[in-house]
Amino acid sequence: MNDTIITGNRIILRPITADDTAMILKWRNSDRTVRNFYYRKPVTEEDHAKWLKEKVDKGEVWQYVVILKETDTPIGSVYLQHIDPATLEGETGVFFSEDAPAGQGLATEAVKLLGDEVGFKMLGLLRLNAKVISTNTASRKLHENAGYRLAKEIKGETCTDGEVVDSLYFVREAPVYKCDRDPLIKAKTGKIVKKEEGQFEISVPGSKSITNRALLIAMLAEGESLLKGVLFSDDTESFLSCMESLGIETKIDRKAETVKVKGCAGIIPNTKASLNVGSAGTAARFLTAVLGLTDGGEYRLDSSDQMKKRPMAPLLDSLKELGCEVIYEGEEGFFPFTLKPHGFSKNEVTVDIEKSSQFLSALLIAGPLTKTELSIGIVGTHGLRYVEITRNIMRSFGIETEKCGSADDCASGSQSSCNISYLVKHGTYKAAAYDIEPDASAAAYFYAMSQIKNIPVEIKGLEGSSMQGDIRFPEILRETLASEEPVTVDMGSLSDQALTLAASVIQRKAPTTITGISHIRHQECDRINAIVSNLTKAGIKVTESGDDITIEPGCPKPADIDSFGDHRVAMAFSLLGLSQPGIGILDPCCCSKTFPDYFAYFDEIRKLTKSQQN
């Protein structure tokens, strides 16, 4: 498979040959290489040749010799390995001769060429990663210069000689994803099963909203909890990393999708810590509330640039009202900041949920930390379905809440003013075995595909009794597409799917108006702007009136869709590619926030439905 010569500005990547093996092994076994990598013992030529042949024959490794153009001299070897057809990911690495010219960016150019020309263009991979020992500053700089981002730090990994080191995990995403591409690597997730009568049974990941709520509550509980069906994505990994920084013990089994959490019974082990919540809104709001209402300590919280733009002021104002000191490093009401908690100074508070119901959920979860009952009043007009999810999970871990007031329509998602409050009972969460539901939000994209392509789809393990609001999306979509008249759809109670609906209704014969979505301007991006700009780019007429949008029927034209770094935008607008070749999704790997394998699923179901219809 490694039969292509790749030419860059100053270097050439030539496929490996048998004559290269001895030279590569010399570099591989040099003192400098051994010192900077996890495998700390020499490898024989025979062992290396056997390993390389097996891996190359299986397509798991692509390896090249780096040649400097000016001198036509081989100076090292770059390799792409651990290629996973299910997730469309691979890992890059590099060996360079001790005689190779230093400080000229050759290693950086070689790794970048291998990723761009082989990983992304030839194989159609979505992501490349690299793990670097933290003390290997040269390799760290190389990957940063080659466009990799530091995803996380890993403490205490054991090398082959027994030495324990800290590691840095770097990630680089494909710059563009074309929905009509035909990569050399064939995606097969193992999560899509074709059943009788052409129906597809799809297993989607666990719910992000439920996973992060359950992780936090299990962290605060007394005893060890077992969480099953856990989602592992950027958001949940950020949450787990923060828990580790707080001294919470966990046992993680990603293959089995389980996490065991040894709870702290409401007393955070580390009274001083620095956390980075990434782009996870749940981690940002929930951890802030809990840490801000402990009996003492000092906690610095930072985030991604994306999360720095999202509002935190309503929650932080409520925490200050309850006695927490907040020290801002930049603009007030936004990350980063330091919390200096002093426990609860009062047993009642009001929170503004106009921009996010997560502010209320955060205070509800933290409520049992007080020495008495906590009354939480709310202002603002926001659907409260996610709050009901929070209350249900709290109940599963032994804490009851009471809703006070008569505006029941608030809990069902109405945007009318909510003249209600909540009472949180004092107590300690109790450990539990808890099953996390499959993600109804992730399932919505496949329900939309089902309607667009007229293919029956069943989501395994997701029942109509689900507590997730997005479980209603298939019914709303069916009713909307069935009508031949202009329709208005209030998506306030399941606003994450406003994007999905917008991408689906272009096939209708009449206009569709989507309302109740003003707050989605303040999520990972301005999602109203994302809908309008991307549909317009694809040749679909859209009218924006305040916070409502009206979409005219039409056939999309080829276009590169801007995801704005928002996972929901990337996944929703991939649906345009089902009916129009040439739809490209910029920054597709932003989906790793909640659904890392989405485009592998997309490719597989697109190919399966295409073969079925042929």
**Cβ(611)–Cβ(484) below 8 Å:** no
CA-based end-to-end distance of the chain? 30
Instruction: Say how far apart CA 595 and CA 207 lie, in whole Å.
Output: 10
Tokens encoding 597 = 């394998």
Tokens encoding 103 = 């400080």
Determine how many CB atoms are found less than 10 A away from the CB of residue 9: 8
Alpha helix positions (H), 398-509 = 408-411, 440-453, 473-482, 498-504
Residue with tokens 């770059």: 78
Instruction: Say how far apart CA 17 and CA 135 lie, in whole Å.
Output: 32
Instruction: Say how far apart CA 434 and CA 116 lie, in whole Å.
Output: 42
Alpha helix positions (H), 87-206 = 106-113, 137-145
**Cβ(572)–Cβ(442) below 8 Å:** no
Instruction: Say how far apart CA 451 and CA 10 lie, in whole Å.
Output: 51
Tokens encoding 243 = 């828990």
* CB-based burial label for 20 (10 Å; 0-12, 13-18, 19+): middle
**Cβ(572)–Cβ(107) below 8 Å:** no
Q: What are phi and psi of 165, to 5 degrees?
A: -130, 165
Residue with tokens 């009472």: 423
**Cβ(129)–Cβ(170) below 8 Å:** yes
C-alpha distances (whole Å) from 45 to each of 6, 17, 65, 81, 100 are: 26, 13, 17, 19, 22
Beta bridge partners of 421: 377, 404
Q: What are phi and psi of 195, to 5 degrees?
A: -110, -170
H or E, element range at 84: strand 73-84
> Looking at the annotation, which residues are catalytic?
496
- For every residue of 322-388, which 3-state class applies, written as one string? HCCEEEECCCCCCCCEEEECCCCCCCEEEEECCCCCHHHHHHHHHHHHCCCCEEEEEECCCCCHHHH
